Amino acid sequence: MNIEMIKKIILVILVLILGVGGFFWFKNRQIKGSYKDYVVKEVGGRKVMENKKAGFSVSVPVGWEAKALNVEEGSMAFYYPGTEGEMRNGIISAPIKRGCVIETALLFKKMTFDEIKRELKLIHWGLGIKSEQVEEISIKGMPALKDSFDSTALGSAIAVYILTEKVLYEFSFYPAPEDKLVCIQEFNKFLETISIK
């Protein structure tokens, strides 16, 4: 057997070991949240989305539709009235054709801003990023990371990450080009209603 053939066999064995190990890690990992943790209720004449397990709540923008998403740790999507876009797995996905979408997501993991920035580089690598601005900001006195970008795959988007000791909260915003200005105002109002305990 020549050296090249031995290298190929070793490579195949390593890929199989990593693949099987990754499968069992993925299968046995602990999911700490669920879409069932999200509840929308009336509080003082307004709709509020609450996730007691993750310790946060946010006001649903007036007239918007709120929908729980059955993904990993659970998520919620908020749709501006008349929002249109491609339907994937029963939800309107970016790029948005009309209106806008706000999505919330949780990761029960402690991370740093630097770790998030590295993750963003990996994620954005495949999205065809045309422009991007990442900045550290504050949301109601909490340190946050804001990632504003424009991509060929998703269109314009803003993602805000709020870090706590045990949970990373993500609030992503996807507007249609024609509705971007009014939707940005709505997103900023939405961020002002976030309550994390």
Host H or E run for residue 148: strand 142-151
Q: Are 36 and 15 in contact (CB under 8 A)?
A: no
Q: Rounded to an integer, what distance in angstroms lies between the CA atom of residue 99 and that of residue 102? A: 11
Cα separation of 149 and 121, whole Å? 12
Locate the domains of the chain by residue range. Answer: 1-30, 35-196
- Rounded to the nearest 10°, the torsion over CA 126, 163, 62, 51 is 110
How far is C-alpha 176 from the geometric centre of its chain's CA atoms?
A: 18
pLDDT (tens digit per residue) in 1-14: 666 655 445 444 43
pTM of the model: 0.79
pLDDT by residue for the chain (197 residues), tens only, comes to 666 655 445 444 434 444 444 433 334 344 466 667 788 888 888 899 888 888 888 999 999 998 887 766 678 889 999 999 988 877 888 899 999 999 998 888 888 889 988 888 888 777 788 888 999 999 988 999 999 999 888 889 999 999 888 888 999 999 999 999 999 999 999 999 999 98
Q: Indicate the fold that domain 35-196 takes in CATH.
A: Protein Transport Mog1p; Chain A (3.40.1000)
